[in-house]
C-alpha cells in the first residue's frame, strides 16, 4: 500500500513539474511603451494579464511626445500606447503597423490638493471658479492635459487673473510644488495620476463641458519579434476585465 502511494505521489509530482516546465517554455516577454497618464491604470491591467497568461510585460512610461521620439530614435518595443495623433505620425514614419487602432482608454482631467487641505466642491463651473480664485498656487503641465486645463481657465474667464499664481511644469513635476507647499495649493492633471499620488487627494473631474478627455490607442511596432503575443495583448486590453480595471483607476 505504501509503495502504491509513493508511486501515485511521484506521478503527481512529475505531472506538476511538467506543467510548470511547459508554462515556463511558453511564456513570452514583451515590452510596452505607454503614455505616462495611463501608468496607474495600465499597471493593474498588466498584472491581470500576467496572472492569466504567465507572459511577462516590461512597462515603460513617458509622455506621448517622448514616446514618439524614443520609437523614432530606434528604441525597441512590441506595443506602443499613445494618443491617436502620435500613432498617426508613427504609422507614417513606418515605426508602427498600419490598420486597426483600437481605443483602449479615455482619461479625464481633474483637480487635486494636499490630503490635509480642504475638500472643495468643484462639481459646477461656478464652484470650480470660486475654488480656483481662492488658490495661492495652481500647478499643471505643459503638454496636452495641461493645455486642456488652460483652455478651461480661458472659458471660465479667469486665465489672466490667475496668471501670477500659475506654475507650469513637466508632466512628472506637477505634484512637487503642491506637496512641498504650505498654502492653498492646487494641482490640475489627469485623474488617474492625481488619484494615486501619495499625499494628494482628488477633488474631482472638471465639471460639465469644461472637461476634456485624452484618448489612447494601442499599436504594434513594425520591428517586433513577438507580433502574435503583442496582438493578443492588445486584445486583452479590450476585454471586460481590463475595462473594469481601467475604470477602477480613473480611466474609462
Domain limits, the chain: 28-106+214-248, 109-210
What are the tens digits of pLDDT across the range 127-142?
A: 999 999 999 999 999 9
* CA 187 from centroid of its chain's CA atoms: 18
Using the structure block, give the residue that is written with the C-alpha cell 516577454.
29
Local structure of residue 38 (DSSP, 8 states): G
Of 74, 34, 69, residue with least CA distance to 233? 34
Strands 29-35 and 56-62: parallel
| C-alpha to C-alpha distance for 169 and 240, rounded to whole angstroms | 35
Q: Which top CATH class is 28-106+214-248?
A: alpha beta
Return the beta strands (E) in 128-224 as ranges.
Answer: 137-141, 166-169, 185-190, 200-205, 214-220
Identical fold for domains 28-106+214-248 and 109-210, yes or no, is yes
Query: What pLDDT does 54 receive?
Result: 93
Beta bridge partners of 113: 201
Q: Assess whether pLDDT exceeds 80 at residue 146.
A: yes
Q: Inform me whether the pLDDT recorded for 5 exceeds 70.
A: no
Q: What is the mean pLDDT of residues 167-172?
A: 91
Nearest to 204 by CA among 140, 130, 112: 112
CATH superfamily of 109-210: Periplasmic binding protein-like II (3.40.190.10)
Can you tell me the mean pLDDT for 1-18?
45
**What average pLDDT score do residues 153-164 get?**
98
Amino acid at each position: 500500500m505504501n509503495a502504491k502511494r509513493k508511486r501515485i505521489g511521484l506521478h503527481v509530482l512529475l505531472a506538476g513539474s511538467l506543467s510548470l516546465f511547459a508554462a515556463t517554455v511558453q511564456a513570452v516577454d514583451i515590452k510596452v511603451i505607454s503614455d505616462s497618464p495611463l501608468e496607474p491604470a495600465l499597471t493593474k491591467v498588466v498584472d491581470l494579464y500576467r496572472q492569466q497568461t504567465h507572459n511577462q510585460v516590461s512597462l515603460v512610461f513617458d509622455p506621448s511626445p517622448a514616446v514618439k521620439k524614443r520609437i523614432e530614435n530606434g528604441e525597441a518595443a512590441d506595443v506602443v500606447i499613445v494618443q491617436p495623433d502620435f500613432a498617426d505620425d508613427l504609422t507614417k514614419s513606418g515605426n508602427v503597423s498600419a490598420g486597426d487602432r483600437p481605443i483602449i482608454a479615455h482619461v479625464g482631467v481633474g483637480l487635486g490638493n494636499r490630503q490635509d487641505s480642504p475638500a472643495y466642491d468643484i462639481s459646477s463651473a461656478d464652484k470650480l471658479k470660486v475654488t480656483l480664485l481662492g488658490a495661492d498656487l495652481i500647478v499643471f503641465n505643459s503638454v496636452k492635459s495641461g493645455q486642456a486645463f488652460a483652455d478651461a481657465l480661458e472659458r471660465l474667464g479667469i486665465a489672466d487673473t490667475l496668471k501670477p499664481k500659475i506654475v507650469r511644469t513637466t508632466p512628472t513635476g506637477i505634484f512637487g510644488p503642491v506637496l512641498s507647499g504650505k498654502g492653498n495649493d492646487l494641482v490640475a492633471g489627469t485623474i488617474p495620476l492625481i488619484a494615486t499620488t501619495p499625499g494628494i487627494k482628488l477633488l474631482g473631474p472638471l465639471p460639465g463641458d469644461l472637461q476634456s478627455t485624452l484618448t489612447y490607442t494601442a499599436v504594434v511596432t513594425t520591428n517586433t519579434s513577438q507580433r502574435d503575443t503583442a496582438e493578443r495583448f492588445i486584445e486583452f486590453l479590450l476585454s471586460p476585465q481590463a475595462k473594469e480595471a481601467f475604470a477602477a483607476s480613473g480611466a474609462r
